[in-house]
Amino acid sequence: MPSSPHTETHFEASATVRDVVIGMSDGLTVPFALAAGLTGTMTATSKLVVIAGLAEIAAGSIAMGLGGYLAARTDRDHYQSERQREIRETVELPEKETEEVADVFRAYGMAENDLRPVVKAICADQKRWVDFMMRFELGFEEPDPKRARNSAVTIALSYILGGMVPLSSYMLVDSLQTALKVSVVVTLAALFVFGYVKGHLTGITPLRGGLQTVIIGGLASAAAFGLARWIS
Amino acid sequence: MPSSPHTETHFEASATVRDVVIGMSDGLTVPFALAAGLTGTMTATSKLVVIAGLAEIAAGSIAMGLGGYLAARTDRDHYQSERQREIRETVELPEKETEEVADVFRAYGMAENDLRPVVKAICADQKRWVDFMMRFELGFEEPDPKRARNSAVTIALSYILGGMVPLSSYMLVDSLQTALKVSVVVTLAALFVFGYVKGHLTGITPLRGGLQTVIIGGLASAAAFGLARWIS
């Protein structure tokens, strides 16, 4: 069980998995709850529910996808600006930065005599020095440059895919009340499968993961349904 | 300019700021786009737009808030299970784990003679050893135990607050077309202010931050409006 390669793979995969989870958990939940909510109003028709649902999926997938794009871009910009600051500090305040490297090791209880050669080795090369400060003092990982675009596309597609699950029954079934029932059954089942797989991937009990997403979807839909019926 | 305390504060604040940003950017965008989208249909009334909008806000705030709660819980569980694995490995495979500590320093070009005392000091104490592996080999920060609940409440309230901005004009103005115009002007202004402040906090140019959120909100609304009009 080699730990480092395992970890690398784990982090690579988890960026995409996290994006799918972000997009799909909202995509399965919000259009489902909105559609269910609208059937609680007096004037609703299947067509209206489908229009509102598709408008929500368009808005949600664009908002979340572009939001993910900007979040990744902001992370990268933030990493670059902190890195520039560290580079500047190694030039302008080398003694202070050298002591900060030493502080990292002091926190692990190392004796002054033992840590001096380590600190000297790290600070001998500016790139290595800055790399060390970024990772060990500030806790930054260097972001993947392709991350922003991949993140946006993954989140948006997952949202659309998730959103079509609850909406498809309103497209296929004429009676609004029947469509609602089909949508509830199909979507709660999909939420359970999604939560089960997500639980499996993130290391929590799959059954618990499945129940969690079902409860979130159920609560959101019940709140939307109750609110819509109460107002109309 | 003491770097470590600065960084600590920065990370503390950024968890809450990130939650406000997560909730409010979707809250300002999706209900806005949905409401604008519904006015593109033939049969829409102000009342229907308000009902659909409130149902969306209820669904979205619950889904995102609980989603944030679970994400924080999953992070904590994941941290704990990785920590248990590292503790087990220091007991079962101490040589391998010692080498992994050495590998961290080798990556910084340190000579074998220099790194031995460092590695010995770290591995002398199991808690310190595991702490080191968690932070420096695996890149984990220990999560705040109150994070899950705070995160859920912050995201949900930010979503509701954001969502009431575009919706309030449909509540106050009778004519649907006038309400749409007011909503577009008010919400784009709010998106600009939000993006401006967000840009300021995350270190990108405020003006660029403001324009980014306006473009996302505008694109999402235009897509929802176009789609709704095209179907109906």
Residue bearing the bigger pLDDT, A163 or B209: A163
Interface residue A135 vs chain B (CB under 8 A): yes
pLDDT confidence bin for B13, thresholds 50/70/90: low
Each residue's pLDDT tens digit, A206-223:
898 899 889 988 988 888
Which of residues A144 and A196 earns the better pLDDT score?
A196
Please tell me which of the candidates B64, B115, B227 has its beta carbon nearest to residue A55.
B227
Position B123 confidence tier, pLDDT thresholds 50, 70, 90: confident
CA distance B23 to chain A (A): 11
CB contact under 8 A, B117 and A122: no
Q: What tens digit of pLDDT does each residue of B72-108 get? A: 887 888 788 888 888 998 889 888 888 888 888 787 7
Which of A1, A25, A30 has the most B C-beta neighbours within 10 Å, making it the best mutation to test the interface with B?
Answer: A30
Q: What is the structure's pLDDT at B209?
A: 86
Residues 6+ apart with CB under 8 A from A53: A31, A34, A35, A163, A166, A167, A170
Q: Which residue of B has its CA nearest to A102?
A: B118
Q: Tell me whether residues B30 and A117 touch, CB distance under 8 A.
A: no
Facing residue for A117 by CB, picked from B11, B109, B114 = B114
pLDDT at B179: 94
Nearest residue, CB atoms, A26 vs list B11, B67, B105 = B67
Report the gap between the CA of A224 and the closest CA in chain B (Å). Answer: 4
Q: How far is CA A57 from the centre of its chain?
A: 18
Please list, residue by residue across A11-47, b when 16 or more beta carbons sit within 10 angstroms of its beta carbon and e when fewer do.
eeeeeebbbbbbbbbbbbbbbbbbbbbbbbbeebebe
Reply yes or no on whether the pLDDT at B119 is more than 90.
no
Chain B, window 67-86: residues with a beta carbon less than 8 angstroms from a chain A beta carbon: 67, 70, 74, 77-78, 81
What kind and span of H or E run contains B65? helix B46-92
Instruction: Give residue B148's pLDDT.
Output: 86
Yes or no: say if A35 and A49 are a contact pair by the CB < 8 Å rule.
yes
> Which of A86-95, A143-152, B105-114, B193-202 shows the lowest mean pLDDT across its residues?
B105-114
Cα–Cα distances in angstroms (integers) from residue B13 to residues A67, B69, B70, B201, in the given order: 20, 18, 20, 10
Given an 8 Å threshold on Cβ–Cβ distance, is B59 in contact with A224?
Answer: yes
Q: What is the mean pLDDT of chain A?
A: 84
DSSP-based helix, strand, coil % in chain A, nearest 5: 85, 0, 15
Pull the structure tokens for residue B142: 């220990």
CA distances from A18 to A25, A84, A166, B119, B156 (A): 10, 29, 22, 34, 20
Report helix, strand or coil for A129: helix
Q: Write out chain B residues lying below 8 Å of A64, CB-based.
A: 26
pLDDT at A156: 95
B109 touches chain A (CB under 8 A): yes
Q: Who has greater pLDDT, B65 or B71?
A: B65
Place of tokens 């939940």: A29
